[in-house]
Amino acid sequence: MNTFLDITREGRTPSRIAIDDVRTALPALLDGRDPIVITDTNIERYYPELLSPYRRITIGVGEENKTLDTVAYIYRRLMDMGADRSSYLLGIGGGIVTDITGFAASTYMRGTGFGFVATTLLSQVDASVGGKNGVNVEGYKNMAGCFNQPDFVVCDPSMLRTLPEREIKGGMAEAIKAGLIKSAALFDKMEAGYDAVMGDAALLRDIIREAIAIKAAVVEADFKESGERKKLNFGHTIAHAIEKLSRRYIHGEAVAIGCVYEAELSRRLGTVGADDVARITAAIERLGLPTRCDIDDKSLFEALHLDKKRHGDRIALVILDSIGTSRVEEMGFDRLAELMDI
């Protein structure tokens, strides 16, 4: 069974997301184009047959490779290969590969066409959908980048079989976040827990499809993040503070903790009940994700407050009105301090 989702692109054909077997979906979406693949060393190790038909550029694994130096390396290799504006780039990998590929493709000779095969759960439900591309500068996340949507994204759930469990769970955090802000039905499905979801291919596919549909709808409504798209940051205000203070958690784990924390802030604002917060906490726990960390509230608040580069004087907090509905509320740091009981 194949599933397509199309996201509108201004003045161009829609960006197509295929949730399907990569071996059949990719040739159809490439439609005769001979791409230059950008991938990482892990994908090369696990999927040699998938990569073998294509010329390719392989980059290293890990956030420390998401840099302008790696982009310059890609430009040099493209020049060596004689690539020009009619060339086509195909990023096969997780969010690091797709963020870099989108940026390199958008800038090489002022822009070539590009598509993705998203190989982590996080890149399938989040990173590869929505058109944000970029790299880190001097250790600061995504400081150089652009908005540009790929022609297509292939999400093959069976590729998650080679992904470490911790990475899969990290992706689950972004999917349940999508449910919390926009779809009680998605949240309900994910309440089944990690083993139930991973043991049921149809359920997993369904969850991936719904999480992508939510992101696609939000991105269509607000491509450049002036309003609606901010809802996708639910859980991320606290997650960013956690990530600043501790290296213990991967991003999805910090988001999981952030979702519980920010649900509790919604409760303090009186929009959801203690029973909702308990249900959210239990669901996240069943997905094998952490729900709390040992960093105290004051340190979290200070990390947020000091991060003026990100926030300015006020902060946009995503408030749950119920499980499955949300809104963005701008507030001053003094109000946030009150809410956090500091």
Ligand X SMILES: NC(=O)c1ccc[n+]([C@@H]2O[C@H](COP(=O)([O-])OP(=O)(O)OC[C@H]3O[C@@H](n4cnc5c(N)ncnc54)[C@H](O)[C@@H]3O)[C@@H](O)[C@H]2O)c1
Catalytic residues: 110, 132, 174, 215, 225, 229, 233, 236, 240, 251
Query: Which of 6, 34, 63, 165 is close enough to bind ligand X by CB under 6 A?
Result: 63
Residues 267/274, Cβ–Cβ less than 8 Å: yes
Nearest-approach distance from CB 272 to ligand X, in angstroms: 25
Q: Interaction with ligand X in 75-134: which residues (CB under 6 A)? A: 93-97, 99, 119-120, 122-123, 126-127, 130, 132
Q: How far is the CB of 341 from ligand X (least distance, A)?
A: 30
Q: Kindly state whether residue 159 participates in binding ligand X, applying the rule CB under 6 A.
A: yes
Q: Residue for token digits 């929009």?
A: 271
One DSSP character per residue, 33-95 reads --PEEEEEHHHHHH-HHHHTTSEEEEE-SSGGG-BHHHHHHHHHHHHHTT--TT-EEEEEESH
Interface residue with ligand X, options 15, 42, 67, 233 (CB under 6 A): 42
Of residues 158, 154, 153, 159, the one with CA closest to residue 132: 153
Residue 154 DSSP one-character state: E
How many residues sit in the footprint of ligand X (CB under 6 A)? 26
Q: For ligand X, which is the closer residue by CB, 166 or 268?
A: 166
The three-state secondary structure class of 332 is: strand
Give 82's contacts (C-beta < 8 A, 6+ positions apart): none
Question: Cβ–Cβ contacts within 10 Å for residue 291, how many?
Answer: 18
The least distance separating ligand X from the CB of residue 340, rounded to whole angstroms, comes to 25
CB of 243 to ligand X, least distance (A): 11
Task: List residues binding ligand X (CB under 6 A).
Answer: 40, 42-43, 46, 61, 63, 66, 93-97, 99, 119-120, 122-123, 126-127, 130, 132, 141, 159, 162-163, 167
